[in-house]
Structure 1
Amino acid sequence: MFQEQSSVRLINAVLFFAANLVSIVIFSRGNCGLSKCITRYLVGMAVGDLMVMVFEVILYEIKEGYFPYSFLNYTPICSLNVTLFFVSIDWSVWLTVAFTFDRFVAICHQTLRTKYCTEKTATVVISVVCLLSVLENVPYYFTWEPGELIDNVPWFCRVKEACFTLPIWAAFLWLETILTPFAPFALILLFNSLTVRHILLANRVRVGLRGNKNVDSQADPEIENRRKSIILLLAISANFLLLWALILIFYIFVQLTDAQFLATTYNKPITIMELSAYMLRCLSSCTNTFIYAVSQKKFRTELKTMVGCPMNCIRNAVKC
């Protein structure tokens, strides 16, 4: 089971690492016709997702399956890596929330839009999210103990028993569960619901002002654009909810029972559930950027140009 999970994660890592790297390059060039504010958020989200691929999938899960006794499995390094992948997960998730809020302000609050939806504000928000993600997850470094001692050298990481008995650690784990993913669930649903409601009401007013309620709404380009916005927002919400639902259930189960994280018995249903939840969480580390970006025609044009450039170079070299 573990080897199968590692193989799936390896495929995910290669595809999503490349996808996020390409997204970062394309957005950084600024040729997608998006505002600088939106571009900053999309680059930040792609960087966060790329970090998830590096710290969780490559440096933790994949090396666990293929290089079980490398220096990365020394307990201090393992603890640092686990802490960093929790940082990257929070960064990715909360930047998605921040971007959703930015689009909510841009659509629903026109007076605040000019002050909030700016490149400077986006930079500040991304910096604050990064800093808070680091500070929030520092305690994770101290939740691990060596899984084995080989020649007095600590190897691997295992959750300390105190994390399941001491009230302070129980409170910390509950707080972490609330902050990720309970709060993002609630906030994304709230902002998207308010945004969709605003768009629907604006469409009704626009149709009423046109005095032609029987005409297909697609005949109005503005209403068509709003309809696409609703579809995009619902796709983002559904994507996040579906891919994070299993890990949300697992976190609740751990808090309410004596189950432990990262158990070593891989044939137990709870462990299979945990590994599957982590795999789906990794899957979510690229889809947000794709949903927002691939729908943009200019992004696809830039992607074709980027893919075609090496091929053209090879073709020209062969001709020479």
Structure 2
Amino acid sequence: MSWNKSGYDSELDVPSQHDDTNLLKYYLMGIGGMIICCFGNIGNILSIIVLTRRIMRSSTYVYLAALAFCDMLVLVFTMLLLLEDTKVPSDGLSPLYQTYYAFLFPWVHPITITFQVTSIWLTLAFTIDRYIMICHPFKAESMCNRGRAKRVVMCIYLGGIIFNIPRFFEYYTQILSFSVGNSTETMYLIQLTKTGNDKYYKEIVHSWMYLICVCGLPFLLLAILNAFLIRAVHLSRKKGKEINVREKKRNDTTTMLIGVVITFLICQVPALVARMMWAFSTLGKLSRNYHTFSEVSNFLVILNSAINILPYYFFGKKFRKEFWRLFCACFFNKDELKKMTRSLSASEGHRKWSVVSNHVNAMEMNGLFQTLRGSSFKRHKASIDVPLIYSENKSDGSDNNHAEKDANNLTMPTYTGQDARLSPTDWQNINTEKSESPS
């Protein structure tokens, strides 16, 4: 997002030379931008509430919650920057307003840019996380967990602050006093500092560092990884009824993230182009058409920070159910709410059930899975039910004792020797014969 204040009139009390440009800023940014910011903050707050629920226990939702919080901060500070554009151009600015905004801009502007950069990096982070989870599932258990996701989020926030420290030295507020008749007038100007106006600083920070670290490399990786995710979802859906419920749920989440990334690219690419045009040119050569394009691209960036709740809701079935359960309870009766809760709990339980416990030893023989006996275990999603057989040990011949003892003396079939290739049905028949045979 550019918001290059020096590209416009720096003097707050001097009307723009182009009335149509000022009107565009007033209607597009002053009115439209403020409305988008207000509704976007509401949407981001609702997203944070849903994404931080216990049922949303996944590394993906950690990244999305951090992104929603970052977008909320972007919109809050953007509203402060848009205060200038909320005034009708013909009315001018009040002296108090001039003073307030002149001292506010040099600090709010770099803070806003900081959270915008952080938002871009968080989008890249959850895309990489989802790519590993879908395309490299064997690495997902160690790399895609909540603890690692929280550490990555903290590093990204810290990196965003460090990366944008130089921007706090770009602008300053200049105070000019001059006499008009018998009175003294004061003028407040927002000017570039010596550092911000330096040719090499502009080329290094605004051109190459921004292009490589904020736009070029992240946008390229987002496009490539998103293509892999789209292909993975497409191949999975081609299987039709062959895919299980867990894979369908995973595809829903992946589709939701693809929607977020595509929305991000559509809204951010124009701002990238405007930024590069400003960085590689001089202010005197920027035309009025550039300023119009820059305002539209700024509006798209604001829109991107405000509408992420839409792909969450329309593509994320789990998010949508939890959203309705939290905020739309008045539209459901108790039975329907319990049903939705059970559905979400079942999906979470299914995910945990598919993880192989460290206390389980499994062997595959002749296409069948044999699980050693133990007091606590979790069943693997690919395991096959193998029938148990009774031991040949009898107690005292009593029927009642017989049933009770047999229940405690179940043994697993051993697939060795001449019976190694028997099917589970054959083992059941053998088991029945042995149980009915006399001692």
What is the TM-score of this pair, normalised by structure 1?
0.79
Q: CA RMSD of the aligned region, Å?
A: 3.2
Separation in structure 1 between the aligned mates of residue 71 and residue 45 of structure 2, nearest angstrom: 10
Report deviation, 1:252: 1.9
In structure 2, the residue matched to 1:110 is 137
User: Residue 172 of structure 2: which of 145, 149, 154 is its match?
Assistant: 145
Separation in structure 2 between the aligned mates of residue 297 and residue 224 of structure 1, nearest angstrom: 10
Question: Residues 153-187 of structure 1, C-alpha deviation per residue, up to 9 Å, x if partnerless?
Answer: 88453434754543133211111233222222111
- Decide whether the 8 Å contact of 2:170 with 2:196 is kept in 1: yes
Separation in structure 1 between the aligned mates of residue 221 and residue 284 of structure 2, nearest angstrom: 28
State the number of aligned residues: 292
In structure 2, the CA distance between the partners of 1:193 and 1:17, relative to structure 1 (3 Å rule), is same
Report deviation, 1:80: 1.5
Separation in structure 1 between the aligned mates of residue 40 and residue 255 of structure 2, nearest angstrom: 24
In structure 2, the CA distance between the partners of 1:289 and 1:309, relative to structure 1 (3 Å rule), is closer
SS at structure 2 position matched to 1:157: strand
In structure 2, the residue matched to 1:268 is 288
- Decide whether the 8 Å contact of 1:73 with 1:156 is kept in 2: no
Report deviation, 1:30: 2.7
- Return 293-302 or 45-54, whichever deviates more: 293-302
Report deviation, 1:259: 3.2
Matched, 1:8 2:32: yes
In structure 2, the residue matched to 1:54 is 76
- Decide whether the 8 Å contact of 1:41 with 1:99 is kept in 2: yes
In structure 2, the residue matched to 1:42 is 64
Return the letter of the residue paired with 1:159: L
- Decide whether the 8 Å contact of 2:124 with 2:222 is kept in 1: yes
In structure 1, the residue matched to 2:278 is 254
- Decide whether the 8 Å contact of 1:247 with 1:274 is kept in 2: yes
- Decide whether the 8 Å contact of 2:252 with 2:315 is kept in 1: no
1:1-320 matched pairs, under 5 angstroms: 1=23, 2-4=25-27, 5-31=29-55, 34-56=56-78, 58-62=79-83, 64-66=85-87, 69-70=96-97, 72-75=100-103, 77-146=104-173, 149=176, 155=188, 157-160=190-193, 163=196, 165-174=198-207, 175-198=209-232, 203=236, 217-222=239-244, 228=252, 231-259=255-283, 268-308=288-328
In structure 2, the CA distance between the partners of 1:305 and 1:196, relative to structure 1 (3 Å rule), is closer
- Decide whether the 8 Å contact of 1:42 with 1:289 is kept in 2: no
SS at structure 2 position matched to 1:146: strand
Greater helix share, 1 or 2? 1
Report deviation, 1:6: 0.7
The answer for unaligned runs of 5 or more in structure 1 is 205-215, 313-320
Question: Residues 96-138 of structure 1, C-alpha deviation per residue, up to 9 Å, x if partnerless?
Answer: 1000000011111222211111111011000000001001111
Return the letter of the residue paired with 1:244: Q
Greater strand share, 1 or 2? 2
Separation in structure 2 between the aligned mates of residue 111 and residue 26 of structure 1, nearest angstrom: 29
Structure number with the bigger relative contact order (C-alpha 8 A, sep ≥ 6) is 1
Which structure: larger Rg? Answer: 2
Question: Residues 180-230 of structure 1, C-alpha deviation per residue, up to 9 Å, x if partnerless?
Answer: 2222211111222233445556x49xxxxxxxxxxx743334476676566
